[in-house]
Structure 1
Amino acid sequence: MKTNYRNNSPESYIMDTEETTVSVNIWILGQNQYHEFIAGEHNILFVTSGSLICSLQGYIDEDIGSGRMVFISMGSRCCISTTEGVSLICLKPGDILNLYNYPFYSQRQKSNNKKSENKLSVLQFTPLITAYVDYLKWFLQSGFNDPLYFGIKTRELFQLMSISYSLAERTFFFQALISSDKKFSDLIYKNYRQASSIRELATMSCYSLSGFEKRFLKVFGVSASRWIALRRADDIYHEITKTQKSIKQISFDYGFSSVSHFHKFCKTKLGLSPGYIRKQLRDR
């Protein structure tokens, strides 16, 4: 296993490369809020207060209250709506998920598990998981942000899940991995930014346009054009909030004809102008 080394005097830490793929964030959603996104990675959402309605293609909409968690697989189009304020923790386990072989749980029981009548992958917290989430939330709220720590906590989660839930319950939770077409989805994530059109992306994927659109809809649960529009908005939001690029540079990088057109896009797709999104981040 490869390692990266980071020196923090007077101590040194050894970080497995898998740790760097993990991210953890707190989401705060207001009353009567609607949020739609394409999951760029596998997500585990822990609802810590309030309740939300979660919609995923092919599954029955579910009201998820405090003390429950839901798994959202990479590439899924997810819609979240609220009737009250909601707080949740979003954990992206990255490569650590693969180390714990959850996809193989599903493969072994595939014949006995028919996607649980299209129910979402939701589990109730056990006392162990409640204590885990409370501890994680405390560290996040204190501003602590160390990839090594969160990698360790992700490994701990999977260990606690093996204690807290039966194999059947864990299989149910990760059921979306049964139908994941990793080879195709990896190809899309690798190429979609370089393609100037759906037809070009289909060609890069060695498909006819009609065959590509059918395969895409089957794997991602949404049309290619809709998926790419949502991913583009998500990528732009990341550029605004996570980089030091100027608004003008981001606008140019994403092919907008003018900054005013870029502002209009952000207000339509993200709800706010790019400058105001950055201002909100600074004011937190």
Structure 2
Amino acid sequence: MARDPFCKSTTDCSQCPKVTEGICVYRKLSRGQHFPKDKCTQNCILLMIKGELLINSEEYPGTVLYDRQFILQAIGSKMELLALTEVEYICYWFNELPVVCPARYQEIIEQAEAPITYTPMVMNSQLQYLVTDLASYLDEQPPCGKFIELKCQELIFLIITYYPLPQLRAFFYPISSYTESFQYFIMQNYNKVKNVEEFAHLGGYTTTTFRRLFRNLYGIPVYEWILEKKREGILEDLQHTKMRITEISNRYGFDSLSHFAHFCKDSFGDTPRALRKKAANGEKIGKLPD
């Protein structure tokens, strides 16, 4: 749907920050254009406008996407693209969906299940009009970031409210399964690492991607979360186990007993031995107020 060429904004947007730069991308590919398989650093919804696009990923191996079809690829998945004809499509990259109807989305995620075979979704008329119009706005120089954010909210609203639940369970399954596996990895390994960089490396992530994934899942920076978990574990071990102070220090990755003692003084107001003695005498020990 072409926009009226005489309908132009009269506002100077050159000083407005591009808050959505790179989040919603409109692409035109010539026949034969190829994007080698690469790891997605964010979740991605790919919406076809025109042409035939060959995608190769774990969910969609050797699948040809046609006009009006759309798919979702979860962060961490690998995706390869090849234009079989002239192609136009939009990629919407996101960490968290701008959910307008959280109850509906929660229902979808809680009941998400892997399909026997992943099948591209097909745009209904409302979604097709939105995507076509969105392409026109994205083609402007520069597009209005705030307006695009609103359109992305509308996009997700149309997907989660205008399609039947069984389809949506399968469509959003890659996100739900990835979140669960990432959370499992965190809980299994947080007490084995000394810093964020080591944690990221252990999971095969870049530090930037790991920080972003973690904050989306837990809502706080990873370093703060690790420190809080260490404090909880140290208090538990000092009060309810007979582990030696040296063992506790090593368990939580401290380089020396002096470093461990300094951490305990900052966090709980006293040395590990003094805290254990207080606990043995029936005194309550805990984290100092912030």
TM-score class, shorter: 0.5 to 0.7
**Structure number having the greater strand percentage:** 1
CA gap of 1:136–1:73, structure 2 versus 1, over 3 A, is same
The alignment partner of 2:170 has SS state of: helix
- After TM superposition, the structure 1 = structure 2 runs for residues 180-259 of structure 1, keeping only pairs within 5 Å, are 180-181=178-179, 184=182, 204-205=198-199, 212=202, 224=204
Q: CA deviation at 1:88?
A: 0.7
- After TM superposition, the structure 1 = structure 2 runs for residues 58-77 of structure 1, keeping only pairs within 5 Å, are 58-77=59-78
Q: Which runs of 5+ in 2 are unaligned?
A: 1-10, 187-193, 210-290
C-alpha distance in structure 1 between counterparts of 2:59 and 2:133, whole Å: 34
Note if 1:141 corresponds to 2:143: no
Q: Is the 8 A contact 1:37 1:77 kept in 2?
A: yes
Note if 1:33 corresponds to 2:26: no
C-alpha distance in structure 2 between counterparts of 1:76 and 1:66, whole Å: 23
Q: Deviations over 1:202-258 (max 9, x none)?
A: 981299xxxx5xxx5xxxxxxx5xx87xx9xxxxxxxxxxxxxxxxxxxxxxxxxxx
- Corresponding letter in the other structure for 1:151: E
CA gap of 1:60–1:203, structure 2 versus 1, over 3 A, is same
Q: Is the 8 A contact 1:42 1:92 kept in 2?
A: yes
C-alpha distance in structure 2 between counterparts of 1:79 and 1:201, whole Å: 33
CA gap of 1:201–1:63, structure 2 versus 1, over 3 A, is farther
Note if 1:48 corresponds to 2:18: no
- After TM superposition, the structure 1 = structure 2 runs for residues 264-283 of structure 1, keeping only pairs within 5 Å, are none
Q: Is the 8 A contact 1:21 1:95 kept in 2?
A: no
C-alpha distance in structure 1 between counterparts of 2:165 and 2:72, whole Å: 16
Q: Is the 8 A contact 1:106 1:178 kept in 2?
A: no
The alignment partner of 2:115 has SS state of: helix
RMSD, aligned α-carbons: 3.8
CA gap of 1:204–1:137, structure 2 versus 1, over 3 A, is same
- Corresponding letter in the other structure for 1:135: D
1:126 corresponds to = 124
2:156 corresponds to = 158
Share of identical aligned residues, percent?
Answer: 15
Q: Deviations over 1:125-166 (max 9, x none)?
A: 100011101111111223342221111111111222244211
Q: Is the 8 A contact 1:93 1:154 kept in 2?
A: no
C-alpha distance in structure 2 between counterparts of 1:130 and 1:86, whole Å: 16
Q: CA deviation at 1:50?
A: 0.5
CA gap of 1:201–1:76, structure 2 versus 1, over 3 A, is farther
- Corresponding letter in the other structure for 2:125: P
- Corresponding letter in the other structure for 1:205: F
CA gap of 1:206–1:124, structure 2 versus 1, over 3 A, is closer
- With structure 2 as the length reference, what TM-score do the two structures score? 0.53
- With structure 1 as the length reference, what TM-score do the two structures score? 0.54
CA gap of 1:104–1:72, structure 2 versus 1, over 3 A, is same
- Corresponding letter in the other structure for 1:51: E
Q: Is the 8 A contact 1:21 1:94 kept in 2?
A: no
Q: Is the 8 A contact 1:24 1:90 kept in 2?
A: yes
Q: Is the 8 A contact 2:28 2:88 kept in 1?
A: yes
CA gap of 1:90–1:59, structure 2 versus 1, over 3 A, is closer
The alignment partner of 1:116 has SS state of: coil
Q: CA deviation at 1:21?
A: 8.4
C-alpha distance in structure 1 between counterparts of 2:71 and 2:161, whole Å: 18
Q: Is the 8 A contact 2:53 2:66 kept in 1?
A: yes
Q: CA deviation at 1:82?
A: 2.2
- Corresponding letter in the other structure for 2:145: P
CA gap of 1:106–1:141, structure 2 versus 1, over 3 A, is same
Q: Is the 8 A contact 2:100 2:157 kept in 1?
A: no
Q: Deviations over 1:162-198 (max 9, x none)?
A: 442112222222120121136848x99xxxxxxxxxx
C-alpha distance in structure 2 between counterparts of 1:48 and 1:10, whole Å: 30
Aligned length: 185
Q: Tell me which structure has the larger Cα radius of gyration.
A: 2
C-alpha distance in structure 2 between counterparts of 1:130 and 1:31, whole Å: 23
C-alpha distance in structure 2 between counterparts of 1:173 and 1:42, whole Å: 12
Note if 1:78 corresponds to 2:79: yes
Q: Is the 8 A contact 2:46 2:89 kept in 1?
A: yes
Q: Is the 8 A contact 2:101 2:157 kept in 1?
A: no
C-alpha distance in structure 1 between counterparts of 2:200 and 2:160, whole Å: 41
CA gap of 1:183–1:108, structure 2 versus 1, over 3 A, is closer
**Structure number having the greater helix percentage:** 1
2:110 corresponds to = 108
